[in-house]
Structure 1
Amino acid sequence: MTLYTSLQQTKNALLAAQIGIQVTGNNIANVNTPDYLRERVIYTPAPTQKYGGLLLGMGVQVEGVVQQVDKFLEERLRNSISDLANGETQENVYLQLEALVGELSNTDISTSLNDFLGSINDILNQPEDVGVRNLSVLRGQTLANDISSMYNRAQEIHTDLNKQVNQAADDINSLLNEIAELNVKITNLEAGPVTKSDAIGLRDQRQRKLTQLAEIIDIKGVEQENGSISVFLGGEYLVIDGIARQVETKTVAEDGLSIAKMTLAGTDSPIQVNSGKLKGLLTSRDDIVGDFLNNLDDFAQTLIFEFNRVFSSGQGESGYQTMTSEFFVAEESIDEPLDQAGLTYTPVNGSFTVHTLNTATGLTETENIAVKLNGLSDDTTLQDVADAINDIDGLSASISLDGHLQIDSDSPDIEFAFGNDTSGALAALGLGTFFTGTTARTIGVHDAVSTDPSKFAASKGGIGADTDNAVELASFLDRPLDTKGGRTIENEYETLVGDVTQSASVAKSVAEGYRVFKETLDGQKLGLSGVSLDEEAVNLITYQRQFQAASRLISVIDELLEVLVNL
């Protein structure tokens, strides 16, 4: 072994120390860089050299620079990121719905409902005061506006979630393309036996893209032997080597709402997500907000129909000269039984009365109209109802071309009203009702009552006779509802609000659990792949001493060579 061989050995030591210092410096520089994985240098003994009968070492050599990473931990962490994004998305939507319901404020629906029914009590004390009846009408309009406003604001949340689904598709495509491009760059740099080092910066970039993608959808990443990452979603591949499959959204209409459906590009196959922000968006849009809108619609329909059933069975201080049913029956169903005529609200077997008042003579006539709905051949049709009313002296009834029932007084002295409806036919047809519409979005107050509050149906014994119907209307909050199995409208609203608050509490707990679990995995990753300044400082000193020692050895070899030359 010659001095020149020793000089080569020392050169290797200097190079190893230099690379160690450079890698340590890179770690320190990236101490606060998100998704940075700590690097380490792999040192191995250099090949031995035979010198006479001896095998002597050639010092150290750098085999490669690799990332300090646990791939299984990274996969678990990506899964936890997906779960957390899913949980936090749902938690956020529930918070919005809780604020929307606003049950602890003075503008919630229960307050409006109580104010409306409470105002009807005032009619009992001052039945002749039209101003008191007008106040009840105004309170009813406030209630209807509050319900429709809540629906519209919930629909805005639904629309926003739908927009986020479309945006998620763009983000997924962008990330998939970037991962595929990084795959190509990484495999090109790491290809062949020339180096065992990782393409550090590129791998960090890819790791960051995978984390961002995992936040949106629950992917599975599998690293191949060539260094590329294959990305899968369920049983479908999204990225293989440098090839990325795209996703796209298609808008369809469901229940009157626009729904963005995400599919794999070029196919009609919907993507299957079990976690991630996209799962949270879809669940929030279709189940959380979608169910809330449906429940609010159901509540509004129940309120409209059940209140109208009571209201239409009463009479106001004045009667009607003309009336047109709010709801129509299609031409082909005019001769069908009323419970099969396609009405939103379904009447049942029963009857109702028609009161006519001659204002000139003060005489009142009452006629009973049977509504037979027994499933027999003589079941009552809309035409039957029109014929029965048409047979009453002083009234004319007909069915318009668009299927509405039209009732008119034959004389300016004749007024009419309805009463004692046990069939629900009046509420189903929209005759003499208070509320209009069939959904939370369309609920309103009938123009005939809002323009003439004297028609507020407080009486039960005839036009302007008493306030018995107002008593029933005022206690409507606690009235058992036949269509809801004896539950009250208060029970229905409490269920609507309770579903939101209870589910919100569960969503908060689930999201908090995901946060704690992710923080635990973050801690594990930080311990393995994170940069410790204390540890890097020790490494820096070690490499510095190694470099100094190798430099000193070079000086000694140089002196020996000088002596050898001068001999």
Structure 2
Amino acid sequence: MSGLGLVLSIAKTALFAQRHGIDVTAHNIANVNTPSYSRQSPVMEAKEPVSYGGVLLGQGVDTTDVVRTTDQFVEDQLMQQKSCLLSSKEMEGYMQILEGLFNENSETSISVMLAEFWNLWHDISNHPAGAAERTALYQHGILLSRQFNNLEAELTELETNLTSAVNVGVERINEITREIADINIKIVGVEAAKVANDLRDKRTGLVSELSGYIDVKTFEQSNGSLTIITAKGCVLVQGSDSYDLEMGGVTGDRVTWQSSGSAHVDLTDYLTKGNLGGWLAMRDEVIAKYKLDLNALAKEFISAINHQHTQGVGLHLFEPGSTLAGTYQTSTDLDDLDFGNEIQFVANGFKLWIEDRTVPANPVMNSVSVDLSGLNGSSTLSNLATAINNQITAAGLTGVTAGVSGDAVTFTSGSDYALGFSEDTSNILGALGVNTFFQGVGAGSMSVNTVLNDKDYIAAAQIEADGSYASGDNTNALAIADLQYTSMGISQWTCDRINGNTEGTVTTTIEHYYHSMVSSIGITSESISRGREYNEVMVNKLGEIRDSISAVSLDEEMTNLIKFQHAYTAAAKLISVSDEMLETLLSMK
């Protein structure tokens, strides 16, 4: 083709090409606010020339493709940083809640209530027989116990809420991976001919959302489909197939991956990014640590107070005809008691005092030093009760019998006999829960011993070596008050999902340990906030780079629109000129 026919053909290709340019520009403008949309550009190429009269003449233009303007490296970096940002944001939010729970400025904080607890023991030391002081201590002991209970319950609720969030996240992850697998099918079908730009943008958006939940890596296959893997190399999407995550494990709170077979892989400890990474780190590392530390503090506090309380006596002995039952139980051996590891099996374990009141006007106080050296951690409560009874008999005493009821040791006094305790060097009484102030073994179970419903049994005094004791004696009250300043070994935990939880020990006071906990929470919170700030800066910078490459600029599109419009007008003018030339040719005679 040559001459006017060639001009018309070139004009036609020009019209089509410029119209394609306008179409692509319009598509860009329409999607200026569409998330994950990448700016598209038409690719125009000159058509191959033809030889005419020894001259190569061009045949116009073709639109050979429409391409997305993207930089995959930038997209991948942005996706990874967003994943880190969402993880740190979730952790930051929960850290603020945690800081609120351990707020030391509150009147009901553990710190404030511990200080008041020690003060009330000082009050009793000043007025050992005072009913008001005893009632105040008893009631505050209940309030302090409840505060420990509530704080532990709040931490447990946070764990539950985080598990629920993980469960919802897993469901959304499965929805996303199924959508991506469906889009893979469409892309493979479309790209047999041309690149599926809009489908790729949609898939990129879904991958970005997926990375907001979980660690992912992507690999594009030669046919255009995307393979997505997560922690431990587990495949989430491969071609047209997607593989679900599930909540499983013994407690149902573990994130597991199931392949096409029956095997399940536990991914929980290896998910470090995205919302799930943040939630799991908070639940299994941060909250787990402070919950363990809180319970370690409560356990040591209970043990210390109880051990000293067992050395003392209230305003009077335990009354005749009563049964004093331990608050700690075991159906097996002594080692199985909650505080069984603290028992020392020594010769002079503790003194059991028996006051014979058969002659009310002339009561007689006797004691037996209970030898525990014949027992060990494998001994049972029955073995212990038998050993105590044998030694009571050997001392020529009667009126008190040790026994076992409901997996707890008991001391039962006859109708004319009262009983008391002193000089427990073995910790056996505290381990049994006999003559103690608190019961329970941690923050969640801590409460005041129900025996102290009768406040007279608050042990402010001690029985002297000769068996005497006085309601005005404050020896034991002072000893308990001094525990405020006594350093003791308290467990401190390090929680790591990969390496497991590690128990260490610090030697410090009860209050200093709690203050250190609060300080540690503040430091952890600040560190997470700084991480979030860094990730935010990186996301913003990478977002700017991504936008400079892929985002739609209305100014640029308007320029392109005018450019293509002018070119279209010029192409139309070619047709008009060709028509005039044809008329001139036809008018020639």
What is the TM-score of this pair, normalised by structure 1? 0.91
Distance 1:468 1:188 in 2: 88
- Cross-structure match for 1:421: 424
In the other structure, the counterpart of 1:488 is 509
Residue 348 of structure 1 contacts residue 373 of structure 1 at CA under 8 Å; is this kept in 2?
Answer: no
Q: Which of the numbers 215, 218, 228 marks the counterpart of 2:215?
A: 218
Q: How does 1:167-246 map to 2 (within 5 A)?
A: 167-192=168-193, 195=194, 198-234=195-231, 235-246=233-244
Which string of whole-angstrom CA distances, capped at 9 and with x for unpartnered residues, describes residues 236-272 of structure 1? 322122111222221423xxxx633322253222234
Whole-angstrom distance in 1 between the partners of 2:236 and 2:527? 33
**Per the alignment, do residues 81 and 543 of structure 1 end up closer, same or farther by CA in structure 2, a change over 3 Å counting?**
same
Q: Which runs of 5+ in 2 are unaligned?
A: 464-468, 491-504
Code of the residue aligned with 2:557 in structure 1: it is: E
Q: What whole-Å deviation, never above 9, does each CA across 1:58-99 have from its counterpart, x for those lacking one? A: 122111111100111111111112222222222222222111
Distance 2:388 2:528 in 1: 52
Of 266-275 and 300-309, more deviation after overlay is shown by: 266-275
Q: Which residue identity lines up with residue 484 of structure 2 in the other structure?
A: L
Deviations 1:175-228 (A, max 9, x none): 111001011111211213xx3xx3232222111110011111111112222221
Shift of 1:391: 6.0
Identify the match of residue 459 of structure 1 among 458, 461, 471. Answer: 461
Q: 1:340 to 1:376 in 2, by over 3 A?
A: closer
Q: Within the alignment, does 1:405 sit opposite 2:395 as a pair? A: no
* 1:289 is aligned to 2:287: yes
* Corresponding residue number in structure 2 for 1:354: 352
Could you report, residue by residue, the CA deviation over 1:266-301 in whole angstroms, capped at 9, with x for unpaired residues?
322223434222222222211111222111111111
Aligned to 1:440: 443
State which drifts further: 344-353 or 110-119: 344-353
Q: Aligned residue for 2:555? A: 534
Q: What is the identity, as a one-letter code, of the residue corresponding to 2:274?
A: G
CA contact (8 A) 1:352 1:421 kept: yes
2:309 pairs with 285, 305, 311, which one? Answer: 311
Q: Residues 426 and 515 of structure 1: is their aligned pair in 2 closer, same or farther, counting only changes over 3 Å?
A: same
CA contact (8 A) 1:77 1:521 kept: yes
Equivalence for 1:516: 537
Query: CA–CA distance in 2 between the matches of 1:485 and 1:385?
Result: 36
Show the counterpart of 2:245: 247
- 2:526 aligned with 1:505: yes
Letter in 1 for 2:560: N
Q: 2:565 aligns with which of 544, 547, 559?
A: 544
Q: Contact conserved, 2:306 with 2:438, CA < 8 A, in 1?
A: yes
Q: How far did 1:554 drift?
A: 1.6
Cα deviation digits, residues 21-45 of structure 1 (max 9, x gap): 1211221222222211111111111
- How far does residue 376 in structure 1 lie from its aligned partner after superposition? 11
Q: What is the one-letter code of the residue matched to 2:25?
A: T
1:382 positional shift: 1.8
Task: Render the CA deviation track for 1:310-361: whole Å, top value 9, x for unaligned.
Answer: 1111111122232001122325x3xxxx457775552124522223445733
Counterpart of 1:31 in 2: which secondary structure?
Answer: coil
| C-alpha distance in structure 2 between counterparts of 1:263 and 1:438, whole Å | 37
Question: What is the SS of the residue equivalent to 1:355?
Answer: strand
Query: In the aligned structure 1, how far is the partner of 2:154 from the partner of 2:487?
Result: 30
TM-aligned CA deviation for residue 377 of structure 1: 11
Deviation at 1:56, TM superposition (A): 1.1
Change (3 A) 1:250 1:376: closer
Distance 1:227 1:174 in 2: 21
2:400 partner amino acid:
S
In the TM superposition, 1:11-22 aligns within 5 A as 11-22=12-23
Whether contact under 8 Å (2:354, 2:400) holds in the other structure is no
* Map 1:262-277 → 2, pairs under 5 A: 262-265=256-259, 266-271=262-267, 272-277=270-275
Shift of 1:379: 12
Aligned equivalents of 1:80, 1:63: Cα separation in 2: 36
Question: For the structure 1 residues 261 and 538, does the alpha-carbon distance in structure 2 shift closer, same or farther, using more than 3 Å as the test?
Answer: closer
Q: How many residues align?
A: 552
* Aligned CA distance change for structure 1 residues 40 and 174 (closer, same or farther; 3 Å): same
Aligned to 1:26: 27
The whole-number CA distance in structure 1 between the counterparts of 2:311 and 2:508 is 21
Q: Secondary structure at the match of 2:313?
A: coil
- Distance in 2 between the 1:36 and 1:26 partners? 10
CA distance in 2, matches of 1:522, 1:428: 61
Q: Decide whether the 8 Å contact of 1:28 with 1:531 is kept in 2.
A: yes
The 10-residue stretch of structure 1 (419-428 or 372-381) with the greater mean CA deviation from structure 2: 372-381
Distance, in Å, in 2 between the alignment partners of 1:140 and 1:174 is 51
The DSSP-based 3-state class of the residue aligned with 2:200 is helix
Structure 1 unaligned regions, length at least 5: none
Matched to 1:452, the amino acid is D
Pairwise CA distance, 1:465: 5.2
The aligned counterpart of 1:78 is 79
The structural deviation recorded for 1:304 is 0.8
User: How far apart, in 2, do the equivalents of 1:113 and 1:382 lie?
Assistant: 35
Match of 1:395? Answer: 399
| Matched position secondary structure for 2:266 | coil
Query: In the alignment, is the contact (CA less than 8 A) between 1:165 and 1:260 conserved in 2?
Result: no
Instruction: After superposing the two structures, state which structure 1 stretch, 286-295 or 142-151, moved more.
Output: 286-295
1:127 aligns with 2:128: yes
Instruction: State the identity %.
Output: 29
Counterparts of 1:158 and 1:292, CA distance in 2: 12
1:97 maps to 98
42 and 385 in structure 1: CA distance in 2 versus 1, 3 angstrom threshold: farther
Structure 1 residues 320 and 499: alpha-carbon distance in aligned structure 2, compared to 1, 3 A threshold: same
Shift of the 190–149 alpha-carbon distance from structure 1 to 2, 3 Å rule, reads: same
Mapped contact 1:318–1:415 kept (Cα < 8 A): no
Residues 425-479 of structure 1: per-residue CA shift (max 9 Å, x gap): 1111100001111121111011110x21111111123363501111122222212
Q: Is the 8 A contact 2:272 2:281 kept in 1?
A: no
d(CA) in 2 for partners of 1:444, 1:377: 28
For the aligned residue pairs, the C-alpha RMSD in angstroms reads 2.4
Are the counterparts in 1 of residues 316 and 456 from structure 2 also a CA contact under 8 Å?
Answer: yes
Hey, what does 2:494 align to over in structure 1? none
Stretch of structure 1 that moved more, 142-151 or 367-376: 367-376
